[in-house]
Chains A and B, each alone.
Chain A
Amino acid sequence: DTEVTQTPKHLVMGMTNKKSLKCEQHMGHRAMYWYKQKAKKPPELMFVYSYEKLSINESVPSRFSPECPNSSLLNLHLHALQPEDSALYLCASSQGVEGNYGYTFGSGTRLTVV
């Protein structure tokens, strides 16, 4: 299995809703990432998990809450989002964080906040 799987592919949520994005990989990768991508912009790093521990939080608002239940799963819990949070949310994984490993990206979750 050489894929990163993200669910759901599309999500529409209200500003008072609570929802979660899920990401799964079975490549034995020990680093996992959340990126946010607005239209016609490059991906922007949000969080990095290394060996199931949060190692980087790029000053992301607390309405985004990441969770890594085990080495294969990464969640992003969403609460009280704003319309400007509408974007493509990409999960990625790599073999590790020491050195420079290429990333494998999931196909993303297209999030719309109404």
Chain B
Amino acid sequence: GQNIDQPTEMTATEGAIVQINCTYQTSGFNGLFWYQQHAGEAPTFLSYNVLDGLEEKGRFSSFLSRSKGYSYLLLKELQMKDSASYLCAVPHGGATNKLIFGTGTLLAVQP
């Protein structure tokens, strides 16, 4: 089976840096995705990590440690528009692309 855990809510200040953690347990690992979802909208792809280390993409970076079953999403220079839910997701693996989402972290950016 699979289990994905994230903090439920976080609050940060505009211009600051925030780190959103995700721990997972999976029977077979085939990479980890991060998605952003604004209220009432569709999830949008942020990053995909399959190897250990940090992947940087502008203000957003994602880190993976396969041995620890751990990932984080790092958001720099926070903007008000970054207020959203951030979903960690892991493919179920096998022959099917069955993406299982974590509970999501609701980030509130304050002035």
Pairwise interchain contact B43-A101, C-beta atoms closer than 8 A: no
Residues of B within 8 A of A105 (CB): 42-44
Pairwise interchain contact A110-B98, C-beta atoms closer than 8 A: no
Pairwise interchain contact A97-B97, C-beta atoms closer than 8 A: yes
Pairwise interchain contact B42-A97, C-beta atoms closer than 8 A: no
Q: Is residue B99 contacting chain A, with contact meaning CB distance below 8 A?
A: yes
Pairwise interchain contact B96-A48, C-beta atoms closer than 8 A: yes
Given A42-B87, A42-B104, A100-B91, check contact A48 B43 (CB 8 Å): no
CB-based A-B contact count at 8 angstroms: 63
Q: Which residue of B lies closest to A97 (CB)?
A: B97
Contact segment of A11-19, A59-67, A73-81, A88-96: A88-96
Q: Is residue B60 contacting chain A, with contact meaning CB distance below 8 A?
A: no
Pairwise interchain contact A102-B48, C-beta atoms closer than 8 A: yes
Q: Is residue A51 contacting chain B, with contact meaning CB distance below 8 A?
A: no
Pairwise interchain contact A43-B101, C-beta atoms closer than 8 A: yes
Pairwise interchain contact A94-B97, C-beta atoms closer than 8 A: yes
Pairwise interchain contact A45-B42, C-beta atoms closer than 8 A: no
Interface size grouping (class) on chain A: 20 to 34
Specify which of A33, A45, A90, A103 is in contact with B45 (CB 8 Å cutoff): A103
| Cα A90 to Cα B87 with chains together (Å) | 15
Pairwise interchain contact B103-A106, C-beta atoms closer than 8 A: no
Given A56-B98, A100-B30, A101-B97, check contact A107 B104 (CB 8 Å): no
Q: Which residue of B lies closest to A108 (CB)?
A: B42
| Cα A98 to Cα B100 with chains together (Å) | 16
Contact residues of B with A, CB < 8 Å? 30-31, 33, 40-45, 48, 50, 87, 91, 93, 95-104, 106
Q: List 19 A-B contacts (CB under 8 A).
A: A40-B104, A41-B103, A42-B102, A42-B103, A43-B43, A45-B99, A48-B97, A56-B98, A96-B97, A97-B96, A98-B95, A100-B31, A100-B50, A100-B97, A102-B45, A102-B48, A103-B43, A107-B41, A108-B42
